[in-house]
Chains A and B, each alone.
Chain A
Amino acid sequence: MKSGDLFRKILLASAISFALTSAPLMAAVTDQDIANDATTTNDVVSYGLGLQGQRFSPLDKLNAETVKNLVPAFVLSYGDEKQRGQEAQPLVHNGKIFVTASYSRVFTVDAKTGEELWQYDHRLPDGILPCCDVVNRGGALYDNLFIFATLDAQLVALDQDTGKVVWKEKMEDYKAGYSNTAAPIIVNGKVITGVSGGEFGIVGKVEARDAKTGKLIWMRPTVEGHMGTLDGKDNGITGETNKSWPGDLWKTGGAATWLGGTYDAETNTLFFGTGNPAPWNSHLRPGDNLYSSSVLAINPDDGKIKWSYQWTPHDGWDFDGVNEFVSFDLKQADGKVIKAGGHADRNGFFYVLDRTNGQLISANPFVNKITWAKGIDLKTGRPEYDDANRPGAPTGADKGQSVFAAPSFLGGKNWMPIAYNPGTDLFYVPSNEWGMDIWNEPISYKKGAAYLGAGFTIKPLNEDYIGALRAMDPKTGKIVWEAKNKAPLWGGVLTTAGNLVFTGTPEGYLKAFDAKTGQELWKFQTGSGVVGCPITWEQDGEQFVAVPSGWGGAVPLWGGEVAKSVKHLNQGGSLWVFKLPKTPA
């Protein structure tokens, strides 16, 4: 028996070493895979289909002619009673589809059959404090890991094959109002994340960790006066203490980085948007309140700020500046190409900036009604405020003068990501037409309690529609086409070389539009509102499209009068996958 035993051990050992050397080579996601994500068509390994966030696929099998043949391949139910907003963007790699769901859950299915391979349900404390539904927007793939952030502000790395926790790091204290819903991104081996909690007087920050271990590398606060770190050592204060904030208010200044960020390899720059300054009542904090409602260009190597641009200085309307900044080539009439970035802000303006230095190139409305500012001055880069439409200061214990402001604080566009198509040179913006009555109230900071100092009601601006998917020409700032929708749009956009634009509606449809004309070409009813982000990829010679379905998000929670147009919508929780069959049925 002895010799037999030995032989068996050797056999086993050789089998193990075989597995160790070959498996990761096939499965591991590399920095190169992520850098190439925008151009490779057989996988989707990053949030935004490439870190620039263009959400453009070069696939064209599915196009304006063939999209009528797009049919469901399979559907996964998330089950459980936790049917809340499903805002995630799925990822596809190595024959698996990875998707996050409400309540910090992760599902992985076989990309061929749709059969569930594993599910991870993060254990959440009862006391979590998410402001706006218990959503999650997606994960990141790196090496053999699926990394995502949770509602109790933890960062969890799961084994792609088993769903087992490989590492977990606490990002912040959920009891102080921190949470996390955004998809992390991976830049050169670092996992880059922001934080949520701007409604609770937290301090926003961007963090970079070793993606394989979770170890913190650098941290950059987004509010002026706070110290950043690199490798555990001080790495300079953000901005200049008290330059644009009075007294101690910067200590609870908000500017949450709750939507994560994008990355441009050409300039080696991270772009992270920042949320509203806290509290909402702007009269308490004279000054620009840097770097709230801004975009920060950050060096991913050390967390230093390269430049910043403030969309809404001294924000008094909760015009979060977190919306994604999408790198693209701005082609000018003289043939010159400017390294630019496009951004559709909550405040109703579509901005084009030079992404090498943050200089404003243009800012034009992408919604029909803007009352808080008359325009953006291209010389100074600052808004021309209409002071009559800033909510007044509270007097004593009484609320201040109420004003009607448009857009509402839910924004001309909210979190749902835009897409840019280099073929049509157009941005596709899921926008909403609504305004709000807003007033200020006395407020003081208390840990873990809402820190707004404002009251509000949201009102639709039109009887027949709130949502409008709009094509914006970044060269002219003009709206090229629009497709109206009764309920507010709340889902992400995808565009393809097949001249298509995909987005979902709260009414339950995933729709495809002609990218040049806006003509609706195809729609499918998924059974619940679509507020997630569609993706596309190629598998066994067929083009696939996937999108989560499940109504929820901030609209039903905060929507005021808008609730009338959405209260009949049913909740859900599923991943829909479609394909264009090789031979149409």
Chain B
Amino acid sequence: MRPLFALLLITLLSPWGWAAEPDALKSPQWEFVHKRFLNGEPYQFDGKVKVEAPADAEDSLNVPISFQVEDLESIQEIVVVADLNPIPQVLRFRPKEMRPHLGFRMKLQQGSPIHVAAKTADGLWHVGGVWVNAAGGGCTLPSVGTASGDWTKTLGKVSANVWQRPDGSNRLRVRVMHPMDTGLASGIPTFHIENLNVLAEDNKVLAELDLFEPISENPMLSFDVNRQTQFRLEGRDNNGNRIQAEVAQ
């Protein structure tokens, strides 16, 4: 059973000539990133995946990143990886009833390629990326909330804004208070939001997000939603603390 299964997989994947294409960012880690976070599945570098980030990060603890995936249908999942971070995986985003756009802030330990890969229904990953230079150290410092001891007072609190974009659709920006400790600072265990879902008023899931350690403290996330103005947020951290909020314009 098992050898047959493996054989089938290779046959299925071979038409794309997987992992053959060189990375435009010349990331030394690309092979590992492809195997580990894209499950070694077929991919192509694709200009339709646009990633915006400063060329030089001013603050390694808060590097603003945004991406838009244009002209690709039925996107299953989008993965963000900072190849040279000690914890490379940043987030996984499954836009269901919203555009495949996202803005967020992250921690960088050193200058690194930021790869964004969007998987379409045919199983192909479309990959874009930018290189961000950073002074570094972002992942091994204690969060401000942890260092000050204030985190218990605000843990899981949500603030949000909804405003209209020129085309009549809306942008939703949320901030969830959480230390997002990476576990790499001495004596401070890993403590981060694991997932966060955006739901419409009628509980329909608009998008699902898996967040990992490199997301900045008190995560700030911007979504391009449709014309809804009321939302619910539901999530949980790795200690099982729940996040629940309602957003109204």
Instruction: Enumerate chain A interface residues (CB-CB to B < 8 A).
Output: 1, 4-5, 7-8, 11, 15, 80-82, 121-123, 125-127, 156, 164-168
Q: Which residues of B contact A127 (CB under 8 A)?
A: 152
Given A8-B8, A11-B5, A168-B240, also A121-B190 (CB < 8 A):
yes
Q: Which residues of B contact A166 (CB under 8 A)?
A: 240
Q: Which residues of A contact B17 (CB under 8 A)?
A: none
B8 touches A164 (CB 8 A): no
A156 touches B239 (CB 8 A): yes
Of the residues A82, A125, A168, contact of B152 by C-beta under 8 Å: A125
How far is B154's CA from A125's CA once the two chains are assembled, in angstroms? 12
How far is B183's CA from A253's CA once the two chains are assembled, in angstroms? 40
Q: Which residues of B contact A82 (CB under 8 A)?
A: 187
Residue from B8, B122, B189, B236 with most neighbouring chain A CB atoms (10 Å): B189
User: Chain A residue with minimal CB distance to B5?
Assistant: A11
Of the residues A4, A15, A125, contact of B12 by C-beta under 8 Å: A4
Q: Give the 3 A-B CB pairs with smallest separation, nearest first.
A: A168-B240, A121-B189, A165-B240
Q: Which residues of A contact B228 (CB under 8 A)?
A: none
A11 touches B8 (CB 8 A): yes
Q: Flag whether B86 is at the interface (Cβ < 8 A).
A: no
User: Chain A residue with minimal CB distance to B238?
Assistant: A165
Q: Flag whether B149 is at the interface (Cβ < 8 A).
A: yes
**In angstroms, how far is the closest chain B Cβ from the Cβ of A118?**
12
Q: Flag whether B123 is at the interface (Cβ < 8 A).
A: yes
Of the residues B5, B15, B149, B241, contact of A168 by C-beta under 8 Å: B241
A123 touches B189 (CB 8 A): yes
Question: How many A-B contacts if CB must be within 8 Å?
Answer: 43
Q: Which residues of B contact A11 (CB under 8 A)?
A: 5, 8
Q: Flag whether B9 is at the interface (Cβ < 8 A).
A: yes
How far is B150's CA from A126's CA once the two chains are assembled, in angstroms? 9
B240 touches A156 (CB 8 A): yes
Q: Which residues of B contact A7 (CB under 8 A)?
A: 8
Q: Flag whether B191 is at the interface (Cβ < 8 A).
A: yes
Of the residues A8, A80, A122, contact of B239 by C-beta under 8 Å: A122
A168 touches B238 (CB 8 A): no
Q: Which residues of B contact A8 (CB under 8 A)?
A: 8-9, 12
Of the residues B11, B123, B152, B240, contact of A167 by C-beta under 8 Å: B240
How far is B8's CA from A3's CA once the two chains are assembled, in angstroms? 12
User: Chain B residue with minimal CB distance to A164?
Assistant: B238
How far is B22's CA from A527's CA once the two chains are assembled, in angstroms? 54
Residue from A4, A123, A127, A167 with most neighbouring chain B CB atoms (10 Å): A123
B8 touches A168 (CB 8 A): no
Contact residues, B1-19 vs A (CB, 8 A): 5, 8-9, 11-12, 15
Of the residues B5, B149, B189, B190, contact of A126 by C-beta under 8 Å: B149
Given A11-B8, A168-B239, also A123-B191 (CB < 8 A):
yes
Q: Which residues of B contact A81 (CB under 8 A)?
A: 187
Given A80-B187, A122-B239, also A1-B15 (CB < 8 A):
yes
Residue from B123, B152, B187, B236 with most neighbouring chain A CB atoms (10 Å): B152
A-facing mask of B159-190, CB < 8 A → 1, else 0?
Answer: 00000000000000000000001010001011
How far is B122's CA from A125's CA once the two chains are assembled, in angstroms? 47
Q: Which residues of B contact A156 (CB under 8 A)?
A: 239-240
**In angstroms, how far is the closest chain B Cβ from the Cβ of A128?**
10
**Sampled A-B contacts (27; CB under 8 Å):** A4-B11, A4-B12, A5-B12, A7-B8, A11-B5, A15-B5, A80-B187, A121-B183, A121-B189, A121-B190, A122-B189, A122-B239, A123-B181, A123-B189, A123-B191, A125-B149, A125-B152, A126-B149, A126-B152, A127-B152, A156-B239, A156-B240, A164-B238, A165-B238, A165-B239, A168-B240, A168-B241
Q: Which residues of A contact B122 (CB under 8 A)?
A: 1
User: Chain B residue with minimal CB distance to A166?
Assistant: B240
Of the residues B123, B181, B187, B240, contact of A5 by C-beta under 8 Å: B123
How far is B238's CA from A166's CA once the two chains are assembled, in angstroms? 10
B239 touches A123 (CB 8 A): yes
Contact residues, B116-159 vs A (CB, 8 A): 122-123, 149, 152
**In angstroms, how far is the closest chain A Cβ from the Cβ of B9?**
7
Q: Which residues of A contact B240 (CB under 8 A)?
A: 156, 165-168
Q: Which residues of A contact B15 (CB under 8 A)?
A: 1
How far is B187's CA from A168's CA once the two chains are assembled, in angstroms? 23
Q: Which residues of B contact A15 (CB under 8 A)?
A: 5
**In angstroms, how far is the closest chain A Cβ from the Cβ of B201?**
27
How far is B175's CA from A521's CA once the two chains are assembled, in angstroms? 63
Q: Which residues of B contact A164 (CB under 8 A)?
A: 238
**In angstroms, how far is the closest chain A Cβ from the Cβ of B207?**
22
Q: Which residues of B contact A123 (CB under 8 A)?
A: 181, 189, 191, 239
How far is B122's CA from A315's CA once the two chains are assembled, in angstroms? 74
Q: A80-B187, A123-B189, A165-B240 are in contact. List 13 more A-B contacts (CB 8 A).
A: A1-B12, A1-B122, A5-B123, A7-B8, A81-B187, A82-B187, A121-B189, A125-B152, A126-B149, A127-B152, A156-B239, A156-B240, A168-B240
**In angstroms, how far is the closest chain B Cβ from the Cβ of A297?**
33
How far is B4's CA from A15's CA once the two chains are assembled, in angstroms? 13
Q: Which residues of A contact B241 (CB under 8 A)?
A: 168
Contact residues, B219-249 vs A (CB, 8 A): 236, 238-241
How far is B9's CA from A156's CA once the two chains are assembled, in angstroms? 39
**In angstroms, how far is the closest chain B Cβ from the Cβ of A515?**
41
User: Chain B residue with minimal CB distance to A124?
Assistant: B189
How far is B123's CA from A244's CA once the two chains are assembled, in angstroms? 72
